[in-house]
Amino acid sequence: MATPKFSKWDIVKVPFPFTEGVGDKRRPALIVSTKSLAQAQNLYWLLMITSVVDPIWTGDVPIPHFAAAGLPVVSIIRTAKIATLQEDRILGRIGTLPQAERKLVTAALGKWL
């Protein structure tokens, strides 16, 4: 496989699947897997990003500097909602997650894993 287009902590636009299994919605998502998964399997693990901040879920991580991350509105990373997509399903890169939020996402994922 060619060199992966995306990196861990990239914020990308994807057709994120509904948890009910029927359909999807185009939305931003955070790549949390390393390039090695993309190189080996052409897959990325992604966390849902949403502008719906009420109600707050356990493990949600706010993105206070949303514009710096490439997002148009105040958003949160919903660490309880993870998906796996092939690289060709990713619609493009929006931005990157700031360092401070990376530590919070890592800690929240550690609780689930």
Compute the Cα dihedral for 61, 67, 73, 74 and give only its sign. positive
Architecture of domain 10-112: Roll (2.30)
pLDDT at 17: 65
pLDDT at 22: 66
Collapse the DSSP code of 20 into the 3-class scheme (helix H, G, I; strand E, B; otherwise coil) and give the result. Answer: coil
Work out the pLDDT band at 53, boundaries 50, 70, 90.
confident
Return the number of other C-beta atoms located less than 10 Å from residue 76's C-beta: 21
Going from the C-alpha of 83 to that of each of 21, 43, 49, the distances in angstroms are 11, 10, 12
Residues 34-55 as b or e (16 or more Cβ within 10 Å = b): eeebbeeeebbbbbbbbeeeee
Tokens 């619609």 appear where? 91
Kindly tell me if the per-residue pLDDT of 96 is higher than 90.
yes
Q: What is the mean pLDDT of the chain?
A: 91
- Residue 3 burial (10 A CB sphere; 0-12, 13-18, 19+): exposed
